[in-house]
Structure 1
Amino acid sequence: MPPQSVPAPSESIVQATELPRLIRLEPNLCGAAFALMKLLPARFMLDRAEQRGELVPGTTVLETSSGTFALGLAMVCRLRGYPLVIVGDPAIDPALCRRLRELGTQVEICREPSPRGGFQQARLDRLKELCAEHPRHYVPGQYHNPDNPNAYAVVAEQIAEAVGPVDCLVGPVGSGGSTGGTASFLRLLEPRLRLIGVDTSPSTIFGQADGPRAVRGLGNSLVPPNVRHTAYDEVHWAGAAEVFRATRDLHARHALYMGPTSGAAYLVARWYAQRHPDQQVVALLPDEGHRYQDTVYQDEWLREQGALDAPPADEPRTVHHPADALDGWARLGWGRRSLDDVLLPAAPASLTENS
């Protein structure tokens, strides 16, 4: 048998890391566990930019991110030789900053929020200034670039081949790329696939007023254009206590050492799968837990956050408007409606225990 081809050194780590492991968690629940999910759209966006001639040697890549999309870009830019400037905010943790800088990334931190739009808007304003400072630049734009959701076609193909027909896809929502993109491709095979988006309060993505969030990696201070609201059948807002417990449970039960966005998806997917044993459920688990060793995986930190003060909810309460979902764990029947339609004072979409 001829030996298998090995990718070129500059691409080996990307190809080895960008796709998830598919892990059976329950008889009808599969987890798509990524080491670093945002590496996939980062690589895909830069590929497409190169093909269109928007990204050539000497171009500086500029982006706003305080999370793993920055790390994905840093890895690809380092391997391909593109200068990278990341605009973040104080939420970015020191360990991530160190990794970015070791990969040759220039990191700028916005210290003050914008009066409207918070740190997200402050970062966008600084990004606009950087574009003027770097005439030869390319901005991937994870929040609005359609290449972000399109990157997940390969994930949908992987899931379809390994799992078979999927009845329900559950995933956290930040930029909207992973849930919307994966669902759109899976629905080519099964149009009735149910998509459940997981957010946390307070977040503007699904119609709440902005505010401080205890759970990192979920929610947003602005509504990203890549969030296609009409794709979602149901939306959950998961509270910090529920998310942190689920993150720890995912490790304790299944030896999956993942971050809180993965815990949020697992929380909702396991709850749904247990109530629909005849349906095949897949949960998107975005990243591993090593960045959270000193926070989510430490009882002392959880106690300082108040996450151990009250017992977490075992199930969500049903609400009919996003404003009613501000505390704890809540669910709303989105019914593939637009954000404007959901916020109108009209009859709510039907959401029953069997839906």
Structure 2
Amino acid sequence: MSAVASATGAVVHEHITDAIKAPSLIRLSRNVVLARFETLKVYATLGVVRSLIADGTVRIGQTLVDSSSGIYALALAMACHRHGLRCHIVASTTVDATMRAQLEILGATVDQMPPSADLRLDQRRRVERVRELLDRDPTMHWMRQYHDPVHYLGYAELADLARAALGPLPLTVVGSVGTGASTGGLVEALRADDPDVRLVGVQPFGSVTFGSDRFTDPDAIIAGIGSAIPFDNVHHDLYDDVHWLDFRHAMAGTVGLLREHAVFAGLSTGAAHLVAAWEARRRPERTHLVIGADTGHRYTERVFARHREALDPARLAPVEIDALDDLAPPWSAMHWARRDYQGPVRGPVLIPTQHHREGWAS
């Protein structure tokens, strides 16, 4: 039993993962609702870990290993803590001291990559390290959050919550793409009942996932919202529209979310908030559900302490493009039309900035 209801209706949870997995639903405007998580990926890790134990793939006491840039690591460590498993995280350079301390106290062992301004190098090092660990100890189970479709399964529960809360209104989901599992898993489950549910994906410049890897944005290490390597869990044909934002636009959305709505959330949430506000003005008949992956604590110095530098979200709008050849910073939007994607189009372009190595990590 995961929770017990008191006589007053209050619920006492058996583990913190039950208490934090469900988001707070917050109406930001008439047709924009934020699903604000403490850590989004608890849904996925709980679902995967329970499935692995139930089918005998892993046993109590075994070590689960994976690479992460932040919130997946914490969610996996929590799931392992709950179910009596060991956890080993190969951490991105973007994982900060606060996150690492939480992981270690939860019992996870952590390998962190050395400082690097090159996310491709950071991700390649992480994959190589995981393979070294598996060669050394084949009893470890590699979670493969970027590639194993089992990570989609946990988001069916979130879809049920969204249906119950929002009702049968025309719905658009807006969220950062990242590994593809959260937006993909949620929308696949929602479309089982309503094929017209729209999905708008948010990407940084510099991500290989939707073809912006020819750009380099020194302000944004893109782990968590984009990727420097292809992810099998990104199903491009699920997405109706894609928006690409630079760091300054994501920062504007993040600071604006706190200033306008008192919601302290992470950089990917701010980016999705900015995109959803623009989409909602164009399609007022649809409800827009914004996926808020985490809180803002990891972004205090890199984003919130610089709030006076933030652009005014009301003055920002994307350039609408018809082809990836026309993609350009600081904000582009394209009707993706649920089509597949085969790869990048051309070589690197530097986005000029004043600051360096600010995280988009999730």
TM-score by length of structure 2 reads: 0.86
Structure 2 residue corresponding to 1:264, chosen from 267, 271, 286: 271
Q: How does 1:231-310 map to 2 (within 5 A)?
A: 231-299=238-306
Structure 1 residue 170 corresponds to structure 2 residue 177: no
Go from structure 1 to structure 2 and tell me whether the alpha carbon gap of 1:8 and 1:91 turns closer, same or farther (over 3 Å shift).
closer
Go from structure 1 to structure 2 and tell me whether the alpha carbon gap of 1:117 and 1:251 turns closer, same or farther (over 3 Å shift).
closer
For 1:50, the equivalent position in structure 2 comes to 53
User: CA shift at 1:212, angstroms?
Assistant: 5.2
For 2:133, the equivalent position in structure 1 comes to 130
For 1:325, the equivalent position in structure 2 comes to 327
Q: Is the 8 A contact 1:110 1:119 kept in 2?
A: yes
Distance, in Å, in 2 between the alignment partners of 1:157 and 1:311 is: 32
Give the match's secondary structure for 1:251: helix
For 2:189, the equivalent position in structure 1 comes to 185
For 2:95, the equivalent position in structure 1 comes to 92
User: CA shift at 1:58, angstroms?
Assistant: 2.6
- Unaligned stretches of 5+ in structure 1? 345-355
Which deviates more from structure 2 when the two are superposed, residues 228-237 or residues 139-148?
139-148
Higher strand share: 2
Q: How does 1:6-21 map to 2 (within 5 A)?
A: 9=14, 12-21=15-24
Q: Which amino acid aligns with 2:295?
A: E
Which deviates more from structure 2 when the two are superposed, residues 291-300 or residues 29-38?
291-300
Q: Which amino acid aligns with 1:209?
A: D
Identity rate of aligned residues, in percent? 32
Go from structure 1 to structure 2 and tell me whether the alpha carbon gap of 1:24 and 1:128 turns closer, same or farther (over 3 Å shift).
same
Q: Which amino acid aligns with 2:259?
A: A
Structure 2 residue corresponding to 1:161, chosen from 141, 164, 186: 164
Go from structure 1 to structure 2 and tell me whether the alpha carbon gap of 1:116 and 1:289 turns closer, same or farther (over 3 Å shift).
closer
Which deviates more from structure 2 when the two are superposed, residues 61-70 or residues 318-327?
318-327
Go from structure 1 to structure 2 and tell me whether the alpha carbon gap of 1:338 and 1:230 turns closer, same or farther (over 3 Å shift).
same
Distance, in Å, in 2 between the alignment partners of 1:155 and 1:319 is: 32
Distance, in Å, in 1 between the alignment partners of 2:177 and 2:17 is: 23
Distance, in Å, in 2 between the alignment partners of 1:186 and 1:288 is: 25
Q: Is the 8 A contact 1:114 1:122 kept in 2?
A: no
Q: Is the 8 A contact 2:217 2:246 kept in 1?
A: no
Structure 2 residue corresponding to 1:209, chosen from 206, 213, 218: 213
User: CA shift at 1:195, angstroms?
Assistant: 0.9
User: CA shift at 1:8, angstroms?
Assistant: 6.4
- Unaligned stretches of 5+ in structure 2? 347-362
User: CA shift at 1:169, angstroms?
Assistant: 1.1
Give the match's secondary structure for 1:340: coil
Distance, in Å, in 2 between the alignment partners of 1:214 and 1:173 is: 19
Q: Is the 8 A contact 2:37 2:295 kept in 1?
A: yes
Distance, in Å, in 1 between the alignment partners of 2:92 and 2:147 is: 20
Go from structure 1 to structure 2 and tell me whether the alpha carbon gap of 1:61 and 1:220 turns closer, same or farther (over 3 Å shift).
same
TM-score by length of structure 1 reads: 0.87
Distance, in Å, in 2 between the alignment partners of 1:97 and 1:333 is: 39
User: CA shift at 1:181, angstroms?
Assistant: 0.9
Q: Cα RMSD (Å) of the superposition?
A: 2.7
Structure 1 residue 196 corresponds to structure 2 residue 200: yes
Go from structure 1 to structure 2 and tell me whether the alpha carbon gap of 1:275 and 1:312 turns closer, same or farther (over 3 Å shift).
closer
Q: Is the 8 A contact 1:242 1:312 kept in 2?
A: no
Give the match's secondary structure for 2:165: helix
Distance, in Å, in 2 between the alignment partners of 1:137 and 1:30 is: 40
For 1:225, the equivalent position in structure 2 comes to 232
Q: Is the 8 A contact 2:213 2:344 kept in 1?
A: no
For 1:352, the equivalent position in structure 2 comes to none
